[in-house]
Chains A and B, each alone.
Chain A
Amino acid sequence: MALLRRPLLVLLLVVTHQFLQLWIVFGSVNEEGQKQEEFFEELLLKPLPDRKLLTHFHFQSSAPPSSNGRHHHLFPKAISQLVQKFRVKEMELSFTQGRWNYESWGGFDSIPSSNAKPPGVELWAVFDVPQHLIDALWKNLTHTLSGLFCASINFLESSTAYSAPEWSFPPASGNLRYGTLPREAVCTENLTPWLKLLPCRDKAGISMLLDRPSIYRGFYHSQRLHLTSTGSGSEGLDPGIILEQTLTVVLLPNSQRASLARASEKHIQPSWSLRSIFGKEVSGKCVLAENSNVYLLLDRGLVAELKQLHKEDEESAEKVLASENYWTNPIFELSAKPDRIFIEESSLLSKNSSILYKFEVEKYSESEPFDLGLTWKIPVVWLCQQAPLHASRFLMGSGNERGAIAISLKSTQSCEGFTGANFDDERCELRVDVFQVVPWYVKVYFHSLQVFVDQQPKAVSDIIEKIHVSPSKDKVSPGVMELVLKLPCSVSSAALTIEFDKGFLHIDEYPPDANQGFDIPSAIVSFPNFHASMVFLENDSLNKSPLLSKFQEKSPVMSYTEVLLVPLTTPDFSMPYNVITITCTVFALYFGSLLNALRRRVAEEERFLKDKAAKKSGRLPLLLSKLSAKLRGRHSEPPHSTPGSSSLVNSKLVFKVILVAGLAVCWQYYFS
């Protein structure tokens, strides 16, 4: 019986499973059958020149505009509610730990220019409402997001924390709000809610690779959420939303061969596999995903270097590059066979083109998991493509009273070809946008802005084409500076300096660790004339990839500078009571002694004292005078006392006591 029953049960399970799958597929294809909710998962791997590996997870879910907006099959409900409620047109939230190393990891590709983010939290949002409503919406949005992502994004609510850039921030428009929290610590509690937005979470598909220890062991990780709402909700339709979630991690693969490395192999790039990096393998795709691909990108510099090496090895190198079995060659070896190889359409900008290997995860399953490994055979040295100028920022001056911020731009020399982007007939100019937010306690003197080009001071008006400044208001708003610089193409270095005074805060405004200092958020340096784009031709429109189409978009090249740490002086936190009491004592001293000096009438006082001496009476004064006389060792002469005056004094005293008692009774009665 039992033997008979089991296959039946299995059969039943299989059938229901099939049915379920069918139902899911049917459900996701809408009644109209034209637009549906989609989900894509992709992973890009890219070896970096300094023996590190860039892994870039890219998940995209989209919801088409629909009238029955309350129900979603794949799309996270929290996000769609957020978009509807706060009328968000575009929004980006990023959590980053570590700093993107522009010099060795490149600054010109699409990946750094849209995924390299400043440390901590960065949030910007564009709203689809009139100007005066934006601030209220922004406040609510920050609170919602801080609840969604378990982060202190709600600190961006205060008007001192966010700003409204006019034009220098690339997706600029009037309805933009921008805020950063450089001090925010990013950890797994922020990743978990982020993963919850994925249909398969981290249970299936590429996201299975997201092993927390190996991610947070990396040199840089940036978790980003970008959403764009398309179409207006004017016709009763809810807007379509595209939610793009990326996680960029830079890791150092621990080379297994390190122990048996010979002297010559020390310079060899470490070999890696998905298993060695993440400790996991991909067992098939997430069933809800449209497609699920892993890419390996060899960037332009690397390809050029490989070509060079090939030429040394054998003469007919050109052909080998594009050939199908390029993946096993004398330089490196891939552990899996790529399904497709893309070669970048050679652009105007450079003669070299990068190569992309595509692996489809679909073909793998639980029994045969997907693992990609790259083994280098000979040492390769190359450089990533860099932005035309390398931006860095530092503080000048010492002490806690004042200082200066300097932004220095150094030519990277790697962009001979790019300068053609803005060729005038006689002189070529390089346009640089700088966007800098400073908190209010760093009081910037905008008139002290100085520009140095090639170490020579220049007139500000020669270099700065356009400037927009909104000075900081104490405890109300941060200072914002937006600049457009026009530098000659031949520039080798440029620097901007601006002086500031350090503010002094109330003791309550200091954070618990006041002596650590305060952060000035990163400045954004962007090069609007340069666009990072990689065009890979895809002939099959069926199997479209959002990541590749993202690469094709012309994204402006931008880079973030360092976060600056400004130490501010602290008052003594333990002394408020002392300060209050001492100051009030001094004021009382002033008031009392001045009033006393004014009131005093020496002649009358003398007369009064004489009278008093004459009238002096009573038992107590008598005793006191006797006592004092005894202390002085002199005989006192008893004052002439008259009984009348004594009784008068007594009656006065009694009257006063009664008066006070009466007042007290009245007070008690009135207030009870």
Chain B
Amino acid sequence: MEKLKKKIGSFSFWNWVIASIIFRLILIYFPKNLNLSSRPEVSTPLTSFRRLAEGYWLKQSSMSPYAGSMYHGSPLLLSLLGPLTVKRIEGQPNHLLYSLVSVIADVVSAMLIRATGRNLQFAYLRTLESLDLVKQIEGSELRSSGDVAALIYLCNPFTIVACVGLSTSPIENMAVILCLYGACSRLIPLAAFGWVIATHMSLYPAILIIPVIFLLGCGPDAPPRKLFLQRHQQKGVLNESKLPHGFSWGPIIHFAFWALVWSVYVLVLCGISLKQFGGLWEMFKSTYGFILTVEDLSPNIGVLWYFFAEVFEFFRNFFLIVFHVNILFMILPLAIRLHHRPCYLAFVYVAICSMLKSYPSVGDSALYLGLLGWFVNELSDMQFSLFLFCGYVGVSLLSPVMHNLWIWRGTGNANFYFATAMVYACLQIVLVVEGVSAMLNHDRKLRRLLTGKLQDVKS
């Protein structure tokens, strides 16, 4: 990734964007044998295109889209994207319109990431200025983190595969990014909308409410508040204007109100579209219920499918609780430790979710890898980044091979494929842990610089 970033730096941003779009279009026009839409890495039971088409077909033939256990997505997605699954243009690839929608979603997400990244960088520079640390940091070059993040998101093979493989994850990712963008640029209704839609579509983004509250309450990422106080106390002059704002409740109440409005709106829409087929309860049961009780044991890049295929039936509930609580348990410690950096907190949450969720796909990885680009400057001295990069490349090459050996040739074994999933989980763990400690180290470095400077001043 480091290499990638450096390479990108020398090229113009827009060239890369156009190149990635053209690459996507070429893949879309590629003959049918690419068959990405049924790869287990791309299409999970939640994001699969074929299941979406099946749900739409069931709905068209006046049955509940949740009849049977095929479709587990949102009914809104069904009414928005469903017609695109059957619409065909003569002489064009089968699902051209649908693919174009995903390409557009990807580009929009990239643009939002870029805007948010610029926002973050601006905030970062301002805080450095207020701490008079610009010179020290300037020594190591500052990269424009927004551009880097947007390009990582657009050119990441994971994103491209998820987009061309017709999964719904580009749209889910866009909702998450919309939420973060709205919160960063203080567009509260937009943030609430993104949060509600993202939660509605895949449940896990619900925990993003904590970073969003911090973002709205005390502004974007900054070094710990203590540092500012220390600095000003040492200086003797308490300059109120240079201090970051304290926690303000106004925007949060505003956010809560909008979140309520949007969720009522979404529920009413869902209720209308499911009126004749069992209503909302049916929807919750086969979307959130399906996510929480890992019912579908078809292989994916996570570890839960094999675990629940093997675990004894009477332990199943216990382990279901343990694995889901694992996500929840980490929320509070992370929130306490990283509360001054809400965007980073959001990144860590997204990464943890994509690691521990019941049906992960590469689209989720694409999202957190894209968000990682925001913190290029802060994480510049992260450990193991080369190891991680090689690990990701290795796993993404080995995993399809093992899947092929097991499923198609019949010469391999489920364990081989599971081993790659295991390695992938470990890589993500290393990424999260190292990322968090690198960010904490960065804060420490700032403090050290500050105290060193103070001592200089004193002496």
| Residues of A near any B CB (own CB < 8 A) | 398-402, 440, 443, 445-448, 467, 469-475, 479, 501, 503-508, 569-572, 575-576, 579-580, 582-583, 586-587, 589-591, 593-595, 597-600, 602-603
Q: What separation, in Å, do the CA atoms of A503 and B303 have in the docked complex? A: 17
Q: What separation, in Å, do the CA atoms of A440 and B334 have in the docked complex? A: 42
Q: Is B413 interfacial (CB 8 A cutoff)? A: yes
| Chain A residues, Cβ within 8 Å of B68 | 470-473, 479
Residue of A nearest to B313 (CB): A508
Contact A593 B429 (CB under 8 A): yes
A-B contact count (CB 8 A): 142
| Chain B residues, Cβ within 8 Å of A470 | 67-68
Contact A401 B407 (CB under 8 A): yes
Q: Is B296 interfacial (CB 8 A cutoff)? A: yes
Contact B54 A586 (CB under 8 A): no
Residue of B nearest to A579 (CB): B310
Contact A401 B38 (CB under 8 A): yes
Q: Give the contacting residue for A504; candidates B50, B56, B299, B326; CB below 8 A.
A: B299
| Chain B residues, Cβ within 8 Å of A506 | 297, 308-309, 313
Contact A591 B326 (CB under 8 A): yes
Contact B408 A575 (CB under 8 A): no
Q: What separation, in Å, do the CA atoms of A504 and B294 have in the docked complex? A: 12
| Chain A residues, Cβ within 8 Å of B305 | 504
Q: What separation, in Å, do the CA atoms of A21 and B319 have in the docked complex? A: 73
Q: What separation, in Å, do the CA atoms of A448 and B413 have in the docked complex? A: 30
Contact B69 A472 (CB under 8 A): yes
Q: What separation, in Å, do the CA atoms of A597 and B311 have in the docked complex? A: 31
Q: A590-B432, A597-B437 are in contact. List 15 more A-B contacts (CB 8 A).
A: A401-B407, A447-B56, A467-B61, A469-B63, A471-B67, A472-B69, A505-B297, A571-B309, A579-B306, A589-B426, A590-B326, A594-B330, A597-B433, A597-B440, A598-B334
Residue of A nearest to B39 (CB): A401
Q: Is B88 interfacial (CB 8 A cutoff)? A: no
Q: Give me the 10 closest cross-chain CB pairs, A-B, nearest first.
A: A471-B68, A447-B57, A399-B408, A576-B310, A597-B437, A504-B297, A474-B69, A590-B429, A579-B310, A571-B414
User: Would you list 14 pairs from A and B whose C-beta atoms are within 8 A, ordered by A residue?
Assistant: A401-B407, A447-B53, A472-B68, A474-B69, A504-B297, A569-B414, A571-B310, A571-B414, A572-B413, A572-B414, A579-B311, A580-B307, A593-B433, A597-B433
| Chain B residues, Cβ within 8 Å of A475 | 295
Q: Residues 46-58 of chain B: 1 if any A CB is under 8 Å from the residue's CB, otherwise 0?
A: 0000100110111
Q: What separation, in Å, do the CA atoms of A560 and B295 have in the docked complex? A: 33
| Chain A residues, Cβ within 8 Å of B50 | 445, 448, 501
* Nearest CB on B from A397, distance (A): 10
Q: Is B422 interfacial (CB 8 A cutoff)? A: yes
* Nearest CB on B from A398, distance (A): 7
Q: Give the contacting residue for A474; candidates B296, B303, B418, B436; CB below 8 A.
A: B296
| Chain B residues, Cβ within 8 Å of A570 | 414
Interface of B is mostly: helix
Known: A401-B407, A472-B69, A569-B414. A594 touches B310 (CB 8 A): no
Interface of A is mostly: mixed
Q: What separation, in Å, do the CA atoms of A470 and B436 have in the docked complex? A: 49
Q: What separation, in Å, do the CA atoms of A603 and B436 have in the docked complex? A: 17
Q: Is B329 interfacial (CB 8 A cutoff)? A: yes
Q: What separation, in Å, do the CA atoms of A16 and B452 have in the docked complex? A: 126
| Chain B residues, Cβ within 8 Å of A503 | 297-298
| Chain A residues, Cβ within 8 Å of B425 | 586, 590
Contact A443 B70 (CB under 8 A): yes
Known: A506-B309, A580-B311. A575 touches B56 (CB 8 A): no
Q: Is B355 interfacial (CB 8 A cutoff)? A: yes
Q: What separation, in Å, do the CA atoms of A33 and B100 have in the docked complex? A: 83
Residue of B nearest to A502 (CB): B298
Q: What separation, in Å, do the CA atoms of A440 and B63 have in the docked complex? A: 18
Q: What separation, in Å, do the CA atoms of A597 and B408 have in the docked complex? A: 42
Q: Is B288 interfacial (CB 8 A cutoff)? A: no
Contact B422 A504 (CB under 8 A): no
* Nearest CB on B from A605, distance (A): 12
| Chain A residues, Cβ within 8 Å of B53 | 445, 447
Contact B310 A507 (CB under 8 A): yes
Which residues of chain B in 346-381 are interfacial with respect to chain A, using CB atoms and an 8 Å cutoff? Answer: 355
Q: What separation, in Å, do the CA atoms of A603 and B447 have in the docked complex? A: 11
| Chain A residues, Cβ within 8 Å of B355 | 590
Residue of A nearest to B286 (CB): A473
* Nearest CB on B from A298, distance (A): 49
Known: A399-B407, A590-B355. A576 touches B333 (CB 8 A): no
| Chain B residues, Cβ within 8 Å of A599 | 333
| Chain A residues, Cβ within 8 Å of B312 | 576
Q: What separation, in Å, do the CA atoms of A447 and B55 have in the docked complex? A: 9
Residue of A nearest to B52 (CB): A447
Q: What separation, in Å, do the CA atoms of A571 and B311 have in the docked complex? A: 12
Contact B311 A594 (CB under 8 A): no
| Chain B residues, Cβ within 8 Å of A600 | 437, 440
Q: Is B444 interfacial (CB 8 A cutoff)? A: yes
Q: What separation, in Å, do the CA atoms of A587 and B304 have in the docked complex? A: 11
* Nearest CB on B from A219, distance (A): 33
Q: What separation, in Å, do the CA atoms of A595 and B57 have in the docked complex? A: 47
Q: What separation, in Å, do the CA atoms of A475 and B322 have in the docked complex? A: 24
Contact A398 B70 (CB under 8 A): no
Q: Give the contacting residue for B310; candidates A402, A447, A472, A575; CB below 8 A.
A: A575
| Chain A residues, Cβ within 8 Å of B298 | 501, 503-504
Q: What separation, in Å, do the CA atoms of A570 and B309 have in the docked complex? A: 10
Q: Is B415 interfacial (CB 8 A cutoff)? A: yes
| Chain B residues, Cβ within 8 Å of A402 | 38
| Chain A residues, Cβ within 8 Å of B322 | 587
Residue of B nearest to A467 (CB): B61
Residue of A nearest to B322 (CB): A587
| Chain B residues, Cβ within 8 Å of A501 | 50, 298
| Chain B residues, Cβ within 8 Å of A399 | 407-408
| Chain B residues, Cβ within 8 Å of A586 | 303, 422, 425-426, 429
* Nearest CB on A from B278, distance (A): 13
Q: Give the contacting residue for B326; candidates A467, A571, A587; CB below 8 A.
A: A587
Contact A583 B67 (CB under 8 A): no
Q: What separation, in Å, do the CA atoms of A579 and B305 have in the docked complex? A: 11
Which residues of chain B in 274-309 are interfacial with respect to chain A, using CB atoms and an 8 Å cutoff? Answer: 295-299, 303, 305-309
